[in-house]
Structure 1
Amino acid sequence: MRAVLCGFALGVFVLQQQPALPGALAWSVSALLFVAAVAFARWVFRREARWLRRAGFCAIVVGAALVGFGYAAMRAEVRLRDALPVSWEGRDIELAGHIRGLPVRDANGVRFLFAVDTDEARRTTGIPHFPPTIQLTWIDRTRAPAALPLLAPGDRWRLIVRLKRPHGNANFGVRDPEAALLARNVRATGYVSAASAAGARRLPGRASGVGLTIDRWRFALRARIDTVLAEAPHRGIVTALAVGAQDAVSAEDWLLMRNTGTSHLIAISGLHIGLVAGLCAALAGWLWRRSCFLARVTRRDWPLIVPAQIVAALAGAAVAAFYAALAGFNVPAQRALWMLTVVSIAFVSGRSVAPSMVLAWALSIVLLADPWAVVTPGFWLSFCAVAAILLVVHGHLRVRAEPQWEDDEPPRSRVSRAFAVVRRRLMRLRERLLSAARVQYAVTLGLAPLTVYWFSQIPLIGPFANAFAIPWVSVLVTPTVLVGVVLPAPLDAWAFRAAHALVEALAAALQALSGPAWTIWRLPQPDTWALSAAALGVVWCLMPRGWPLRWAAPLTWLPLLMPPPAGPSAGTFRVTALDIGQGMSVLIETAHHALLFDTGPGPESTHAGERIVVPFLQANGVRSLDALVISHADSDHAGGADAVLQAIPVRQLLAGLPPSNRLWGAASRAGADTLRCAAGQRWQWDGVEFTTLWPDPGPLPKVSNAQSCVLRVVAPGISALLTGDVDAPSERVLVARARDALRAQVLVVPHHGSKSSSTEPFLDSIDPLIAVFQVGYLNRYHHPNPSVWARYAARNIELTRSDRDGAVRIDSNGGALVLERYRETHRRYWMD
């Protein structure tokens, strides 16, 4: 049975790696393979040969995997059917529906899920499968605190919205946001249009349902915590532990927790649910055993009718379900809930279930409910942590023998008896400490490859930080938060303030522990083979004593810990243009150096510097930047610079910024040398020459776009030109000054393809083979301009655009250009 459940999970995982859903031929072949596997297994198990039985076992696993593959494919077909037609993107649509989940409010407005009245939407739009759930943003255009209405779960509204298909930024080494939208069943995103902002109408009544009732509880608890803690620095962590909402956790807290390997404690994890369920089960059993005192009143001796152990098990499962509901049923919470449920059912029915079987059942139930859970970090971190613990605990099971006394009689001396009691307690304490150390060792070792894959780092102080952070949060903070959840106002305020004080003490301890830079080991995101080898090494290391060649297991980690150089060969360079929406960010890599040209939008818009640029650099092994070039001060080019300067060492800032711009000071405080872009600047790295062509030395032009740095990169067989937002007058000056100096095979298109740039003489001077348009999906500027796009297409240039192709990577291989489009080489069936 265990193999069947794991085979089902394997099939679900394989489906989520496919570039397209299976067609009629694939379905037919899969059905034939399933029938063949079942028939072969049935034939084999009628034979007595052991090797045949092993073959039948493999056939059963294959059949279960085909079932999982087919189940996930059918779920995907149904979910993808609810799609917004391309022709309806960007149009005003009047919709009625209700608020779902917990709305997230920030300085720009509020973001929320909207459950659409699909029957009305189908009648008004004629779309047969209108998306039932959409994600909306209601922008606060007046910047007044009370300008936007309070949006609560279940409230019904009629809104005019503008929608687009679920489209996310697609980049090498960065999480796929489209997969997250699909997992949440969000089949369209958009915003409340300006026409509706003033005329939005709240409809009478409220939507009902168990899920909405839970959401209203969570909403009220979050509002109460916000009122009690107000501007407290760690309010977001208390909220996350109470209702599972992590939107209020500050960037400083996230950074601290990631750097110390304790970020799993911010969420309502399986550990917290198991602890709370255990405490409540113990309390329920204690009370039930003492209910015999009520026998005279009830005339029933309840503990004799229903054993206290069964009552405790059922109470623990019920409390676990309640707490998981408060957490929003995230994957770790689901895993803990289903494991407790399976154990409780087995206990009540008088059965004994192996821990690995419990984990396998929880795995299958989670994937039955949500086949897309396998694309989230929480799924892998949660299940692999429990698997590692079970593996190391199973390998160290011991039967504890009670002390034996000579002549089968205990010593008569009081001193001897006291000494024996102390010795027994010390031995038990020693066993518990050793067991806790083994568990911490297993979790640290087991999750290290996944931590590198998802976060491109290993916190070296993680085991030490977790040694006191886990009991601190689990034994002190979480129960205190739950006391505040249970108590009525105003008594709950005392508990929430006490919980915040405990979190504040924890943050201070972690801050003192995470000071040195060496405490974080930065590593590039491993490929499939390196990750598989490291996973094999983990299992090998966690095997019990006596396992053959256990000492050699760390050798399997070498591809993960000592990856080959990621840069191109000497004398060449690599260009990677990121997909950051409407903005620009390009990485130039030589054999031993890296230059980042622009950083995309910042907090004023999409947080692309923090969400995309920094994770991309870390996942691709860029530990430091030899140069950060900020072409000019526009926010879509310079907004993410702060995030880059805070996360990655920068040796030099080269920018086309006015002297008063704050980035000069920020770069200096980060330890970077600062220099203004000026034509004539020239340097060489690893046989690659870099030349600044614009702007001229002296005062900067008054127009912001005319201040853009223009950088030319030249190596034997390949050259590239990065132009920022340079405008037509600047292009004319560059053409008149040095026409031949502009020639390049790769061109990052000026000003995202605006009609104010890319003049005919400029393109003739460059004569590019590849042109890269960095534009946002359905951006409000309508970049690239159709006439400019046609101008490039008429020259038979290979065109790429980030809204369609995602990030693009261009290498020189023996003098020939190799172009890689992310959405082609890493395609998944859900990509729009």
Structure 2
Amino acid sequence: MRIALLALAAGLLLLRFLPQLPGGGVLAGMACLALAMLPTRLYPLSFFLVGLSWASFSASLALDDRLCPELDGQTLWLEGRVVGLPEVGEGVVRFQLEDAVSRRAQLPERLRLAWYGGPELRAGEQWRLAVRLKRPHGGVNPQSFDYEAWLLAQRIGATGTIKQGERLAPAAGAGSWRDRLRQRLLAVPANGREGGLAALVLGDGSGLSAQDWTLLQDTGTVHLMVISGQHIALLAGFVYALVAGLARFGCWPRQLPWLPAACCLALLAALAYGFLAGFGVPVRRACIMLGLVLLWRWRFRHLGVSLPFLLALDLVLLAEPLVVLQAGFWLSFGAVAVLVWVFSGRLGSWSWLRSWGRAQWTMAIGLLPMLMALGLPLSPSGPAANLLAVPWVGLLVVPLALLGTLLLPVPWLGEALLWSAGGMLELLFMLLAALADHAPAWLAPRIAPLWWWLGALGCVLVLLPGGVPLRLPGAVLLLALFFAPQELPASGRVEVWMLDVGQGQAFLLRTRGHALLYDAGPRLAGFDSGERIVLPSLRRLGVGRLDLMLLSHADNDHAGGALAIRNGLLVAAVSSGEAMALPAALAARPCRHGEQWVWDEVRFTVWRWDGARDSNQASCVLMVEANGERLLLTGDIDARAEMALIAQGLDLRANWLVAPHHGSRTSSSSALLEAVQPGAVLISRGRHNAFNHPHPLVLARYRERSLQIFDSAEQGAVNLLLGDFSPAQGLREKPRFWREK
């Protein structure tokens, strides 16, 4: 039976790694083959095919429910019901809409919408809205949150921006009850941690600030403020221990067996907590796992630990196959697997303190390969932080918060309990801040697969039982995760990355021993691309220091993310065409016309128009030459600045041209294209941007000259090796079944 469950899980998990989904005919063939092999010795293969077929079929249904391409970017009037808890941050209201209908088109079942400057919304309300709808789409970079995968895992078929709307019906249903409870919790004084209590009671993290999330990430404690399996298990364990304690001291009714009662009451407590949290995918996963664990504890302990683990894994995957697209799924089951691996083979009894300490350091080691594979930060302070924070939150803060919420109708008692819970939470954040100051999170650079496998093998060997001679070699192999050699460009070559930052621009230029960032991406309401895209991508690419951050000019779409990068990475110097217009904290100097330097046999040359009359014309232009191959980065210069550049009499010929001003109508003049004579053009812009970049006339000029076009909105981040005369590659070209081509 274990083999069958393992084969079924393998088929379901394989979905995560498929470049594309099999067609309907292939799925039908796999299902028939599985049925034919079921009564034979090849039954494990049958279970594998069943898992793969079901996962692929479920994913196909989700993909088919996406907004049709004809409506992409169109504005429609629609009606629908607000579900979940709307999020409000920096003047933007974000929420999900279900049962949306429109007279003009068939719409997906679930939409995720944003209303800039919108009114207060409540779960359960019915609205009529004018929405500019978009198909699910997100940036693709060396390291960033995969927004498209997240949308598909949530079965969201479209996103959109609201232009106007009217409320048709007031809030109703269970969702409205949760929303009213959230407002009540946020109104109760709790030492400034009202948002944290709402996160712990209702699973609503919108009340936590960006600084709070950064602190939790640095200390490896993000899971504490998101209702997950840990919270569900701790509450259920508390109820179970209470019943067991009453039975042990003779306070439990003798006519009622305590073990089934403890298991049933623990499961009921978990389900009630899940109801408060809205029964999201992580909560459903936790309740399934907990239910099986309690059933195993009640009647099936003789079957061992691996069987309920595999059964829980299969049930979670069968209930929602797309959960494999979420990092939380891999980490939660990975953590359980590590604990089973470590504790199932121990000899003798350990004290609770020794067991708790061992659990923390073994999970820190066991989850290392998975964290690196998922591109998530590693927290050096994580084991120490969790050693304190998990029992603090699970045994003190959460029970007090839940009890205070339950007793809110009592005039002062509920508020007093919530105030105490908030105080404990604030004290915990103060302790976590002290830890984070000494050991912030670290994002490991990407390494070759061979080194990753060696490191993963080392982690397995280190976690072997004490006395096994392979533990020391395992510790040596584990170091491969941290000291794997980095691939650097050879002398006379430049690794160029055009990052996918939306309607903005950010280019990384890295020689063998130096790194330059040309522009830093935009900072928008609630989203700093410097912090969320550029900085993580630099770290993932192994860039620990910038020799120069050259900001073409001070416009937000080019310099908005600069401060976050300066604060998060060592930057030797900052230069800009509008140094005085940038924040003083950047300490930027003006870029100098005619400035040249050589790094690792690569020549860099700067130009700036002294007669510039506006910000765009003041952009610093950078020419990079490596082994005879040239790249021209132009900022936002317009046709007048282009003519001034040509009038200098410089040799502007370049193999690669970065489209001036994102391909706007006022740039990329025929004169510039004649002077540069590029073979390819790089366009950095946002999909469905409000400026209509790149303009059709500019694209026509490019096509007239048969230029190869690389567009970040269509191809994601683009990588090329300047000096090698090789073609560029967009990250979106790497096939993933959930991404649009």
Normalising TM by the smaller chain, what interval?
over 0.9
Q: CA deviation at 1:286?
A: 6.3
* Residue 127 of structure 2: aligned partner: 157
SS at match of 2:740: coil
Distance 1:563 1:173 in 2: 18
Answer with 1 or 2: which has the greater Rg.
1
| 1:443 alignment partner in structure 2 | 363
Q: 1:125 matched to which residue of 2?
A: 104
CA gap 1:152/1:747 in 2 versus in 1, 3 angstroms: same
Q: Given that residues 34 and 66 in structure 1 are in contact (C-alpha distance below 8 angstroms), is that contact kept between their aligned partners in structure 2?
A: yes
Are the aligned partners of 1:572 and 1:718 in contact in 2 as well (CA < 8 Å)?
no
1:372 CA displacement: 1.7
Determine the structure 2 residue equivalent to 1:137.
114
Aligned ranges 1:336-375 → 2 under 5 Å: 336-349=286-299, 352-375=302-325
CA contact (8 A) 1:170 1:807 kept: yes
Q: Cα distance, 1:772 vs. partner? A: 0.8
Distance in 2 (alpha carbons) for counterparts of 1:22 and 1:333:
30
Task: Give the aligned residue type for 2:183.
Answer: A
The CA deviation string for residues 661-719 of structure 1, in whole angstroms up to 9 with x for no partner, is: 32xx2224xxxxx32112111112111111111243xxx73311111111111110321
Whether 1:821 and 2:730 are equivalent positions in the alignment is yes
In the alignment, the residues of structure 2 paired with residue 528 and residue 480 of structure 1 have an alpha-carbon distance, to the nearest angstrom, of 46
Cα separation, partners in 2 of 1:439 and 1:254, compared to 1, 3 Å: same
> Please, which of 232, 236, 239 is the counterpart of residue 195 of structure 2?
236
How far is 1:820 from its partner? 0.9
Q: Does 1:183 align with 2:153?
A: yes
1:508-657 residue pairs with structure 2 within 5 A?
A: 508-516=430-438, 520-547=441-468, 549-604=470-525, 606-657=527-578
Paired AA for residue 513 in structure 1 = L
CA contact (8 A) 1:679 1:693 kept: yes
Corresponding position of 2:214: 255
Q: Which residue of 2 aligns with 1:704?
A: 615
**Superposed displacement of residue 181, structure 1:** 0.6
Is 1:493–2:493 an aligned residue pair?
no
- What is the distance in 2 between the residues matched to 1:457 and 1:687? 34
Structure-2 change in CA distance of 1:227 and 1:709 (3 Å): same
Q: Secondary structure of the equivalent of 1:803?
A: helix
Give how far 1:786 is off: 0.4
Secondary structure, counterpart of 1:161 in structure 2: strand
Using the TM superposition, give the Cα deviation of residue 605 of structure 1 relative to its aligned residue in structure 2, in angstroms. 6.7
Shift of 1:539: 2.1
2:169 corresponds, among 204, 207, 212, to: 204
Give the counterpart letter for 1:76 in structure 2.
Answer: A
Shift of 1:759: 0.5
2:180 counterpart residue number: 220
Report the alpha carbon displacement of residue 527 of structure 1 after superposing the two structures with TM. Answer: 4.7
Q: Residue in 2 aligned with 1:760?
A: 670
Matched, 1:472 2:392: yes
Could you tell me which runs of 5 or more consecutive residues in structure 2 were left unpaired when the two chains were aligned: none
How many angstroms does 1:608 deviate by?
Answer: 1.9
Q: Is the 8 A contact 2:31 2:53 kept in 1?
A: no
The CA deviation string for residues 19-75 of structure 1, in whole angstroms up to 9 with x for no partner, is 22112564366357636754651xxxxxxxxxxxxxxxxx44433222111101111
Q: Which residue of 1 aligns with 2:585?
A: 666
Give the match for residue 746 of structure 1: 656
Structure 1 vs Structure 2: percent identity of aligned residues? 38
Aligned amino acid, residue 2 of structure 1: R
SS of the residue aligned with 1:684?
A: strand
Q: Distance in 2 between matches of 1:552 and 1:61?
A: 34
Q: 1:434 to 1:285 in 2, by over 3 A?
A: closer
After TM superposition, the structure 1 = structure 2 runs for residues 678-717 of structure 1, keeping only pairs within 5 Å, are: 678-696=592-610, 701-717=612-628
Q: Name the structure 2 match of 1:88.
A: 71
Large movers: runs of 4+ above 6 Å: 286-293
8 A Cα contact 1:269 1:333, kept in partner: yes
More deviation, 277-286/70-79:
277-286
Amino acid at match of 1:156: Q
Match of 2:351, SS? helix
Q: 1:327 to 1:679 in 2, by over 3 A?
A: same
For residues 545 and 169 of structure 1, the distance between their equivalents in structure 2, rounded to whole angstroms, comes to 46
Equivalent residue in structure 2 for 1:434, among 343, 354, 357: 354
- Following superposition, the deviation at residue 266 of structure 1 comes to 1.9
Offset from partner CA, 1:263-307 (integer Å, 9 cap, x none):
2222223222111112223445667899999xxxxxxxx742x41
Give the AA of the match of 1:23: G
Tell me the C-alpha RMSD between the 2 structures: 2.5
Q: Deviations over 1:805-825 (max 9, x none)?
A: 111101147x32231111112
Q: Is the 8 A contact 2:457 2:477 kept in 1?
A: yes
Deviates more, 1:279-288 or 1:60-69: 279-288
Structure 1: 5+ residue runs without aligned partners?
Answer: 42-58, 141-147, 294-301, 401-429, 669-673
- Of 635, 640, 644, 1:729 maps to 640
Q: Which amino acid in 2 is paired with 1:8?
A: L
Aligned to 2:55: 72
* 3-state SS, counterpart of residue 720 of structure 1: strand
Say whether 1:769 aligns with 2:679: yes
Please identify, of 447-456 and 652-661, the stretch whose mean Cα deviation from structure 2 is larger: 447-456
How has the CA–CA distance of structure 1 residues 204 and 643 changed in structure 2, closer, same or farther, with 3 Å as cutoff? same
8 A contact 1:182–1:830 mirrored in 2: no
Q: Which deviates further from its counterpart, 755-764 or 605-614?
A: 605-614
**Between 221-230 and 91-100, the greater mean CA deviation after superposition:** 221-230
Checking the alignment, whether the CA contact within 8 Å between 1:310 and 1:347 is kept in structure 2 is no
Hey, what's the Cα distance between the residues in 1 that align with 2:628 and 2:310? 55
Match of 1:427 in 2: none
CA distance in 2 between counterparts of 1:572 and 1:658 reads 29
Report whether the alignment pairs 1:273 with 2:183: no
CA distance in 1, matches of 2:517, 2:577: 14
How far has the Cα of 1:530 moved from its partner?
3.6
Structure-2 change in CA distance of 1:434 and 1:346 (3 Å): closer
Aligned residue type for 2:725 = A
Deviation at 1:606, TM superposition (A): 4.1
- CA distance change for structure 1 residues 719 and 627 in 2, over 3 Å: closer, same or farther? same
Aligned: 1:503 with 2:425: yes
Tell me how far apart the structure 2 counterparts of residues 267 and 34 of structure 1 sit (CA, whole Å). 39
**After alignment, is 603-612 or 775-784 more displaced?**
603-612
What letter corresponds to residue 661 of structure 1 in structure 2?
A: L
Alpha-carbon distance in structure 1 between the residues aligned to 2:563 and 2:189: 29
SS where residue 420 of structure 2 aligns? helix
* Maintained 8 Å contact 2:59/2:322: no
Whole-Å separation in 2 of the counterparts to 1:776 and 1:625: 26
The answer to which of 232-241 and 177-186 deviates more is 232-241
Q: How far apart, in 2, do the equivalents of 1:431 and 1:546 lie?
A: 20
| TM-score under structure 2 length normalisation | 0.94
In the comparison of the two structures, how many residue pairs are matched? 739
- AA partner of residue 643 (structure 2): R
Supply the AA of the counterpart residue of 1:109. Answer: V
Change (3 A) 1:36 1:537: farther
Question: Given residue 615 of structure 2, which amino acid in structure 1 is its aligned partner?
Answer: S
Residues 1:11 and 2:11 are matched in the alignment: yes
Kept after mapping to 2: 8 A contact 1:288/1:311: no
CA distance in 2, matches of 1:242, 1:827: 36
Q: What does residue 779 of structure 1 align with?
A: 689
Aligned to 1:421: none
CA separation of 1:675 and 1:149: change in aligned 2, threshold 3 A: closer
Structure 1 residues 188 and 788, CA gap change in structure 2 (3 angstroms): same
State the Cα deviation string for residues 418-462 of structure 1 (Å, max 9, x = none): xxxxxxxxxxxx732222222122111112223333455432222
Distance 1:364 1:749 in 2: 50
Is the 1:469–1:506 Cα contact (8 Å) retained in structure 2?
Answer: yes
CA distance in 2, matches of 1:76, 1:70: 10
Q: In 1, Cα distance between the equivalents of 2:280 and 2:544?
A: 33
- Superposition deviation, residue 590 in structure 1: 0.8
Letter of the aligned partner of 2:67 in structure 1?
L
Give 1:334 deviation, angstroms.
3.5
1:512: how far off?
2.2
